[in-house]
Structures are given as C-alpha cells and as structure tokens.
Amino acid sequence: MLIVQKFGGTSVGDLDRIESVAKRVAKSKDMGNDIVVVVSAMSGETNKLISYANHFSKSPNKREMDMLLSSGERVTSSLLSIALNEMGYEAIALTGRQAGMITDNVHTGARIEKIDTSRMKKALGENKIIIVAGFQGIDRDGNVTTLGRGGSDLSAVAIAGALNADLCEIYTDVDGVYTTDPRIEPKAKKIEKISYDEMLEFASMGAKVLQNRSVELAKKLNVNLVTRSSFNENEGTLITKEENIMEKPVVSGVALDKNQARITLRGVVDKPGIAADIFKKLADGNINVDMIIQNVGEDGSTNLGFTVPQNELEDAKKIMLELNASKNLEFDSNVAKVSIVGVGMKSHSGVASQAFETLANENINIEMISTSEIKISMIVDRKYSELAVRALHEAYELDR
C-alpha cells in the first residue's frame, strides 16, 4: 500500500516524540508499505515565529511572513529524516518546493494549484521514505507560500490525491471521531467509518479533529482519510465515500456547539430584499451567521431568527440596532446548538420526530430547528445542552 502519514505539531512536539514518530513510520515501512510522511512544525514553533514577526510589525509583510513560517516544517522534516536514516532507512526530506507543491500567490493563505509529483515518484521508485515539510509550497515565481491554518493536513490530503495513495493517515492527539464528546457522555464510542459529508457536518460544528478544508479536499480527490492518535496504536476513524460504508447508521453522532447566541427580529415586513439587506450588513461587519429561521408572523409580517458565534454577539447587536428599533429585537446569549448527524437519515423517516420527542421527554424546549439531508440542529437553552446530548446519544443507541 502507498500510505501518506501526516503528523501534527503535538505529535512532533519534542525530540523524543519525533523519535517515536520515526519508529512508527519505520514500522509501517517494515510492513511493506510505501510511505510519504507530511509533518507540521514542532508545537509552539509557529507561534514563536509569529511573535518574532509581531515584534517588528502588527501586520507583517505577508510574503516575508511565509518565508519565515515555512522554516518550522523544514526543521521537523529534516530531523525526522535524520532519525530514520540513522535507523538504517533511506529517507529524504523534501521542502514544499521539492515536493512539487505549486500554489497561487495568496501569501499566508495560498491554495494548492497542482503538485508536480515527479521527484516524489522518483524517490518512491528508489524505495525511499519521503518526508515532506507540510503547510508550504511555492508560487509560479518561486516565492515561498503557506496554506494557512490546518495547512499541513491539506498538504497531506493533496499529496495523497496526487499520488493516488491508498490511505491518508492524519495523526493527532485524539483517537478519532467519537459519537459525541466523551467529556459530556462517557459512553461515547469511537466511530469506525464515517462519510465525508457527515464529517463535514461534525467539523463545522466545532469537532477539532479535522478542518473542513481538508475533508472537502479529501472528498473532492476521493482520498481515504484516517484520523488516529500518534500516542497509541488504536485504530482511528476512516473518513471515506458513503458507498464504502456498508452499514449506514441512521444517526452517527451528536454534536454540541456552545458558542452560539440567538438574535430574533420580530415583525419584519414580509417583502423581498429585507432579509438580504440585513445579512449583507452583517457579512460586511464580518459576522458569521450560522442558522437562519424565518417564521410566518401575523399581518403580513414575519419573525426572523438567526444565530451568531457568542463572541460576535456584541458586534452583531450594534449592526442590528442601527438597522432597527430596539423594541423589535431580542438577544439571547444563553443558547447552544445540539445536532444529530447521520447519512442514514436520508432513507429513514421519523428521525426528526424522535429527536424532538427525546428532548420533550426531558422537558427541554427547542427554540430553533434547522435541518439538512443528513443533519438536524436544534437551539436549546445552554444549561440543558449537555443533558440534551446525553439523551439523544441514548435515544439513537450510539453507545451500542
């Protein structure tokens, strides 16, 4: 098998951990696999470099920033290669440029345009272990670029796609994706397989395992993604095409997002363009609106409800008060969003009503509801949100 293995900052956080990573990579190689490793900077290094840059400038020149930030991954990749060579393996560290990672020229947030795999293919042909410095590439003029937050994951997925790898393993400090947060529900179970779309729903609800950009790219490139821990040997969670998942559970997991605040605008005149105007102003103010619900009201007017991240509520308030008289506005910063996610919902009816019933049985009022093909999200009073998660987790038998 050809496996791309990506190790994040905490997995290569110090020299002993890099040594552990070397042993793990060697073991995969010994099993007869071809291995391409993608590494992040040692944890803390990137922040250190950013603080250095901020000593000189609050908004450092972005091109220069990319050259600065790209150095951390070079250190990790060469150290890992040195360790593997010492262990008797032929390993070669490649910078983003050497790995053929061509991006656009949007410094500090570049997009991968193509990967020239010739050098990697040559090294694989020579049976070498390749260690790629993640997070970085070059633009068409040879300037160093970086891919933004989560960039090393993107590097790994893009390389796995370009090399048509059998597997892309993302190593972090967690075991995989769980049916819900084990700190809320100790009976939470690790999910063995999950579809890209479900993972995207989980990721957008704050599951920190993977960022949406990486999952989206994996879906686009049809890369089998595994998220697992670098600190133990447990199997992780495979994120793959829906067709690859034989038994599709109706509900795969329950997610909780406490970073929510609700804004309600009553008595909006029900004519075209009003909502568009409100949400354009909010977008201009960099407010990330999440759920939006519009109810039919009385007398040709409607009620408009939406949620924003809690830390953006004050800014959102200002914008809304400029637009409207305060008497029609309601703000609630004590809400949370509880969601159930599952591809099985598509073919099963009654999933939503079971959720509502479950919460009703616990006397939890549902303030807002939003559904997609594979997700049902409910806004509830924040103090009941953990209870809601546990009740739903049990109702859908996720601990079985």
Give the three-state DSSP class for 370.
Answer: strand
Q: Which is nearer to its own copies, 143 or 370 (CB)?
A: 143
- Residue 68 or 209 having the CB closest to its own copies: 68
Beta strands in the chain (DSSP E): 2-7, 34-39, 91-94, 101-103, 112-115, 129-133, 136-138, 144-146, 167-172, 193-195, 225-229, 237-240, 253-269, 292-296, 301-308, 329-341, 366-372, 375-381
What lies within 8 Å, CB to CB, of 132 at 6+ separation is: 36, 37, 38, 39, 77, 93, 94, 96, 99, 101, 120, 155, 159
Task: For residue 235, give every residue at least 6 positions away whose Cβ sits within 8 Å of its Cβ, in sequence order, or none.
Answer: 176, 192, 228
30, 2 Cβ separation under 8 angstroms: no
- Selected from 8, 9, 13, 60, the binder of its own copies by CB under 8 A is 60
Closest separation between CB of residue 97 and its own copies, Å?
7
Binding status of residue 53 toward its own copies by CB under 8 A: yes
| Residue in 2, 20, 43, 74 binding its own copies, rule: CB under 8 A | 74
Q: 10 Å Cβ neighbour count for 162?
A: 21
Tokens matching residue 164: 């048509």
Contact string (CB under 8 A) for its own copies, positions 8-47, x = contact = -------x--xx--x-------------------------
Does 50 participate in binding its own copies (rule CB under 8 A)?
Answer: no
Q: Please state the closest distance from residue 374 (CB atom) to its own copies, in A.
A: 44
Q: How far is the CB of 58 from its own copies (least distance, A)?
A: 9
Site string for its own copies, 94-113 (x = CB under 8 A): -x-xx---------------
Fill in the per-residue mask, 111 to 150: x = in contact with its own copies (CB under 8 A), - = not in contact. Answer: --------x----------------------xxx------
Q: Kindly report the backbone phi and psi dihedral angles of residue 61, in degrees, each rounded to the nearest multiple of 5, phi listed first.
A: -45, 125
Radius of gyration of the chain (CA): 24
Look up residue 113 and give its DSSP letter: E
Number of amino acids touching its own copies (CB under 8 A): 40
Q: Is 75 in the site for its own copies (CB under 8 A)?
A: yes
Taking the least distance from each CB to its own copies, the nearer of 73 and 201 is 73
Member of 11, 77, 252, 260 binding its own copies (CB under 8 A)? 77
CA neighbours closer than 13 Å in the CB half-sphere of residue 376 = 22
- Write down the least CB distance from residue 96 to its own copies, Å: 12
Site residues (CB under 8 A) for its own copies? 15, 18-19, 22, 49, 52-53, 55-57, 60-61, 63-65, 67-68, 70-72, 74-75, 77-79, 81-83, 85-86, 91-93, 95, 97-98, 119, 142-144
